[in-house]
Amino acid sequence: MSKICTQPKMGGQGGNGAQQQRAPGRTYAMTTDEVKNPNDVVTDTFPVCSKSAYVLFDTTHSFVSLSFARCLSTPSQDLEIGLAVETPSGNTLVADKVHKSCDLILCHRMMLVDLVPLAILKFDVILGMDWLSENHASVDYFKKEIRFAIPEQLEFVL
């Protein structure tokens, strides 16, 4: 993934449309070793709570490894509803905490992310569909790009 950030135009849809409700779902966790083609994942290193983190952009929820969670400056809180995460080996991990509003720096922009601590390996942080959709992000896996079109802000690409 490129370290160059671009700002092509004003992005997003203006207006105050009705918010979509999120349906409960099942989450699956895997590592790059378990992916048939490692080129099918989008990863990079970014500052999270002022610490350099190895980040995976994925279609799950947003998670933080237990070891990296110890470095976060925001205290954990109880999740309203526990989250069951199924691993490829068939094990189920249960998450019941969240670190709310952790700062994440992308292209010199400070963004916030809620991170659920989970026993994950290989990555410090997984930025999931919850965070990507909230930030109007589109992932192009072929180009290894993430395009942000946040309403009333300049569009940018990672």
Domain ranges of the chain: 41-157
Low-confidence ranges of the chain (pLDDT < 50): 2, 9-32, 34-38
131-14-17 Cα angle (round to 5): 75
CA 141 to mean position of chain CA atoms? 15
In this prediction the pTM is 0.73
Q: How far apart are CA 37 and CA 117, in angstroms?
A: 26
Q: How far apart are CA 31 and CA 130, in angstroms?
A: 19
Strand 156-157's sheet: what is its strand order?
137-140, 145-148, 156-157
> In the chain, how long is the greatest CA-to-CA distance?
44
CATH T-level fold of 41-157: Cathepsin D, subunit A; domain 1 (2.40.70)
Q: How far apart are CA 115 and CA 32, in angstroms?
A: 20
Q: Write down the pLDDT at residue 11.
A: 45
Q: Write down the pLDDT at residue 44.
A: 85
